[in-house]
A and B are shown apart, each in its own frame.
Chain A
Amino acid sequence: EPEVTQTPSHQVTQMGQEVILRCVPISNHLYFYWYRQILGQKVEFLVSFYNNEISEKSEIFDDQFSVERPDGSNFTLKIRSTKLEDSAMYFCASSIESNYGYTFGSGTRLTVV
């Protein structure tokens, strides 16, 4: 069964550093998403991406965040200057159509120290 692949599975970074979280969506999917889950809290929407542009973003997704689909297969989330409160599990997802179910990856656990 096709999977969404996320790397790395765990990343530790110092406060103020830039991080890039990587995702390989399912190959024929057209819609891409990032969500995050702070430990013990709800899964929260960050951003959706379609046709090489952001289609929707949440209040969490401020100027410190950016997304890119650099080469037609990878989908990345960059956090420019990490804060302690950015520590969370970050999930990438993709879907073939916007109303279809999403396939989520297994996540990257980001720890900011």
Chain B
Amino acid sequence: DAKTTQPPSMDCAEGRAANLPCNHSTISGNEYVYWYRQIHSQGPQYIIHGLKNNETNEMASLIITEDRKSSTLILPHATLRDTAVYYCIVRVEAGAGSYQLTFGKGTKLSVIP
């Protein structure tokens, strides 16, 4: 699976949009981009995923560049409860033989009042 690079930490003011970048310059055509977060020591929480197109759900938006070498997770109105470590994970389509998610160190997002 392609390697991802994320900033180790970011701050965001409460109520503002949080834009979390991820670089995955070696991504290949059948690899998905997944975002998860982990609040304190709880289990990771799925946020969103995409292949080529931008995606939006009730939690966030995922913007993938046209060349697919980077993506941005957008939390439109960050709250204190969004303080967490955010993981960007690239994984080959599971039918190609791999089911595992490889978690890196992620970005620690601190939402500040």
A43 x B99 contact (CB < 8 A): no
Contact partners of B32 in chain A: CB under 8 A:
99
Cα–Cα distance between A4 and B38 once the two chains are bound (Å): 15
Q: Which of A33, A44, A91 contacts B99 (CB 8 A)?
A: A33
What is the chain A residue whose CB lies nearest that of B91?
A99
B10 at interface by CB-CB < 8 Å: no
Contact in complex: B99, A104 (CB < 8 Å) = no
State which of B19-27, B65-73, B74-82, B102-110 sits at the interface with chain A.
B102-110
B31-62 vs A, Cβ < 8 Å mask (1 yes, 0 no): 01010101001111111110000000000000
Q: How many A-B residue pairs have CB under 8 A?
A: 60
A98 near B95: Cβ-Cβ < 8 Å = yes
Chain B 81-97 per-residue mask, 1 if CB under 8 angstroms from chain A, else 0: 00000010000011101
A102 touching B101 by the CB < 8 A rule?
A: yes
Partner of B44, one of A43, A55, A56: A43
Most buried by A among B34, B38, B43, B87: B43
Contacts of A56 in B (CB 8 A): 97-100
**CB-based contact B94/A45 at 8 Å:** no
Alpha-carbon gap, A45 to B102, bound state (A): 7
Please name all residues of chain A whose beta carbon is closer than 8 Å to the beta carbon of B42 when the two chains form the complex.
106-107
The answer to the question of A89 belonging to the interface, with a C-beta cut-off of 8 Å to chain B, is yes
> Which B residues form the contact surface with A (CB < 8 A)?
32, 34, 36, 38, 41-49, 87, 93-95, 97-105
Selected A-B contacts with CB under 8 Å, 30 pairs: A4-B43, A31-B99, A33-B99, A35-B101, A37-B41, A42-B103, A42-B104, A42-B105, A43-B87, A43-B103, A44-B103, A45-B100, A45-B101, A48-B100, A55-B99, A56-B97, A56-B98, A98-B94, A99-B32, A99-B93, A99-B94, A99-B95, A101-B49, A102-B101, A103-B46, A104-B43, A104-B45, A104-B46, A107-B42, A107-B43
